[in-house]
Structure 1
């Protein structure tokens, strides 16, 4: 499991990339990606290209990110999901809360 992040040149979009298993062991690294920024981005991109698994704690972490980013007004895209990861997000009705591409 590895979590990395990068901020756009203008500071408006934070990209968080998750590699491997997205579970409770990633909790602190995931939160550090967005809580340690001096400027709050206006949009977030969660790249799950290399995510092999996610569990209920990962769903909770995504909800915490959503709350941090502004709740209903948050702009968060979850992209590059494998079919298995997308199925978990769909079963959990996350397409109601996030833009899943």
Structure 2
């Protein structure tokens, strides 16, 4: 499991990249990835291209990110989901809360 983050040059967008299992064991690393960004970026991108597994803990972490980013005003995109990850997000109705591409 590896979680990394990169802030855009203008400081407006934070990209968080998930590699491997996205589960309870990644909780602190995921939280650190967006809290280290300092002043809240306007947009967040969670790149799930390397995520091999996603569980209910990960769904909770995404909801915590959404709260951190402004709840209903949050601009968060979940990108590069493999079919298994997309299915979990779909069954959980996360397309109602996040932009999923």
TM-score by length of 2: 0.98
> For 2:82 and 2:37, how far apart are their aligned partners in 1?
29
State the Cα deviation string for residues 3-57 of structure 1 (Å, max 9, x = none). Answer: 0000000000000000000000000000001112222100000000010000000
Which runs of 4 or more aligned residues in structure 1 lie more than 6 Å from their structure 2 counterparts after TM superposition? none
> For 1:83 and 1:91, how far apart are their aligned partners in 2?
12
> For 1:18 and 1:86, how far apart are their aligned partners in 2?
14
> For 1:20 and 1:28, how far apart are their aligned partners in 2?
15
Structure 1 partner of 2:4 = 4
Structure 2 partner of 1:41 = 41
Aligned length: 101
RMSD: 0.5
TM-score by length of 1: 0.98
In structure 2, the gaps of 5 or more residues are none
Structure 2 partner of 1:70 = 70
